[in-house]
Amino acid sequence: MKMDRIEKETLSRFLPGGVLNGFFMALGAMQDIIAKKALDAADWQITLLAMVWPVSNFFSIWWGRLLESSNNKSRYMWVVGFGGRLVLLGALWISNFYHLLFILTMVYSFNALYIPIQNSILQRNFRPKNRGRVFGYISSIATLLALITTVIGGRLLDTNEHFFRHVLASIGVLGFIGTAVISRIRINQQETQEKSSGIAVKTIIMAPLVRTWNLLNRNRDFALFQFSFFVYGLGFIMVVPVIPRFLVIDLGMTYTTAFLAKGVVSQLGLLFLSPLAGKIHDSRDPMLFTCIGFILISMYPLSLVVADIAPTITASIVMVFVSYLIYGIAMSAVNVSWNISSIYFAGDEDASMYQSVHITLTGVRGLLAPFLGYIVMELIGIRAVFILASCFHLTGALINWRMYRKHRKAVTIIPSEG
């Protein structure tokens, strides 16, 4: 990549800070297995745990509104660092499932600030031709750290599962260092002239909601793109509470085996393909790019159906690994789109609020999808959850395909000069 002075200076901090976030990324692969095995969580408790990340994201529009009126967005990384990283030190005193649930709720609520700040840095400090590639390279290296962390964590917990407290605390400290590094980036932006409207409760609560409604109503393309992600996300999240029971109870996987599938094989696509996915995203319509990603991810739950009907436990476990390999390949595209496609729809506007709306809608579907997955699992079975999830993914792909075709027609129509 050819980079100018601002891009090089930004990358010198953005790269190490983003890479250190890889330690935090390992948390998602570990938390439900830890809850199921070490804390003996029931299926309905795993469903609650699956809701923590998306529901906590609901607060993102308030964070986004705060960032939108700030002249120094990167300083809020300190908020992420203390509230969304160092709070994991509390894991040293976890003695039951509810302690873990409380700590993760705190972590993910403050972590909802991370991606909007990241998007502001990418939007303001990097040119369009470099954004996807920068994000891809950082994601790839961060994924490598997440992979290593997951492998070491799995081995430690198979030796003594009580070590999970120290693993989580270590992730918190290393993640905090990463946010501290990013907080030193100066975002290249014009100073906002917006005045604070006071601290009235009505203003604090209602202003971001009104801003979100106006944004979605005004930018219909962005609203429809968000609807496609909403539909896809129903399928993605409804599988989450089912996986621990499938891997731990039905297949009897150890920490090492489960972490290897969920946290290592599932990350191989992100590790090796993220730079390529970022480069393709920079040169393609995000709707077509996302459509392809959704089609690929639909194969992941379908392959889990094959794992469920396999004739032996060994064959099932092998198929689980194949499923997570497919998942990783698909997520190399979906991850790029999820994180930075909002910049395309924002245009010259502040992308932090657009991404905050995107993340908040993750919280809305997070209220529905885990319970949907749990209910379908209890009433019909695990296979039905996987099949329904794949249908949601394909529906999201269809919405993006129709958007892409509509935009292509609009571009190729040349108005007559009458």
Is-contact 313 252, C-beta < 8 A? yes
Would you state the pLDDT for residue 196? 46
Lowest mean pLDDT, pick from 32-41, 67-76, 177-186: 67-76
Sign of the CA dihedral with 254 first, then 260, 266, and 270 last: positive
* pTM of the shown model: 0.75
Rg (CA), the chain: 21
Q: Which of 152, 74, 59 is nearest to 111 (CA)?
A: 59
Q: How far is the C-alpha of 184 from the C-alpha of 314, rounded, in Å?
A: 49
Is-contact 84 131, C-beta < 8 A? no
Residue where the block lists tokens 């993910």:
108
Q: Which helix (H) or strand (E) element contains residue 98?
A: helix 97-111
Residue where the block lists tokens 């395909």:
401
Residue 197 confidence (pLDDT) above 50: no
* Structure confidence at residue 193 as a pLDDT band (50, 70, 90): very low
The first and second tokens of residue 7, run together, are 């891009």
Q: How far is the C-alpha of 244 from the C-alpha of 137, rounded, in Å?
A: 31
Q: How far is the C-alpha of 253 from the C-alpha of 268, rounded, in Å?
A: 20
User: pLDDT tens-digit profile of 87-139?
Assistant: 999 999 999 999 999 999 999 988 888 888 888 888 888 888 888 888 888 88
Q: What is the DSSP string of 216-254?
A: HHH-HHHHHHHHHHHHHHHHHHHHTTTHHIIIIIIS---
- Region of 253 (left: φ > 0; alpha: ψ -120 to 50; beta: rest) is beta
Helix then strand count (H, E) for the chain reads 17, 0
Q: Which of 21, 105, 117, 121 is nearest to 58 (CA)?
A: 105
User: Mean pLDDT, the chain, as a whole number?
Assistant: 85
The first and second tokens of residue 371, run together, are 């319970």
The first and second tokens of residue 259, run together, are 């972490």
Q: How far is the C-alpha of 331 from the C-alpha of 136, rounded, in Å?
A: 12
First-to-final CA distance of the chain: 46
Q: What is the DSSP string of 277-290?
A: HHHHHHHS-HHHHH
Q: How far is the C-alpha of 24 from the C-alpha of 344, rounded, in Å?
A: 27
Lowest mean pLDDT, pick from 156-170, 180-194, 252-266: 180-194
**Highest mean pLDDT range out of 75-79, 120-124, 382-386?**
382-386
